[in-house]
Structure formats: C-alpha cells, structure tokens
Amino acid sequence: MKAIQAIKLVGGALVVLASINAYAQASDVDMTNQPSAKQTAKAAKSADRALAKKVRAALSKSKDISVSNITVRAKSGAVTLQGSVPEQPQVDKATQVAQNVAGVTSVKNALTIRPVGQ
C-alpha cells in the first residue's frame, strides 16, 4: 500500500513539474517575438539624427544661407530650425530648403534675425 501511495505522489509531482515547465516556455516564446521598447526608441532616435543631418547638409549646400548659427532638431519627421541669421531672406530660404528634404513632414522655423557683429 505504501508503494502505491509513493508512486501516486511521484506521478503527481512529475505532472506539476511538467506543467510549470510548459508554462515557462510559452511566456519566453511570446517575449522573443515582440521588439522591446528600448530597441524601438533607439531606432526612432537614430532616424531623427539621420534626418537632422540631412537637413543640415542641405542647408550647408545652399549658398544663400549662413548656417554657422543654425541648429537643426528633428523628431518623427518634424524639423525645428533654431538660431540666428543676418537677414530675413535667409529665414525664408532655410524653411524652403528644409521642407524639400526627403522625410521632412513639417518645419517649425524659430530663427531670429541678428545682424553680423551682434
């Protein structure tokens, strides 16, 4: 009689262990199929930096714009131009150049006019 109870006890323990192992495997599979939030955030920041770099390069190629005091920020396609330029036509031209860069969805121009030497 003791042997039968021991076999039942061992069998029950094996069933419990097998079910715990199967549960642990199922949750691991779900986690590997979903990208982590950190990876997604890193990819977004990388894309924003690349877009800002493209806009800076386009502004630098334009001969009508003094880019030494211009800062470009990008977030999800929205570009912000900050800093100062010597003349109003440069403000307008900077906006136009930034809008023509591939990947730019909107441009916020926060450039100010500051004559050279001030």
What token pair was written down for 36?
């982590």
Looking at residue 32, what is its pLDDT?
A: 55
What token pair was written down for 84?
């100062």
pLDDT in tens, 68-83: 999 999 999 999 999 9
Going by C-alpha positions, the residue among 55, 108, 46 that lies closest to residue 82 is: 108
Looking at residue 34, what is its pLDDT?
A: 62
pTM of the model: 0.66
Looking at residue 33, what is its pLDDT?
A: 58
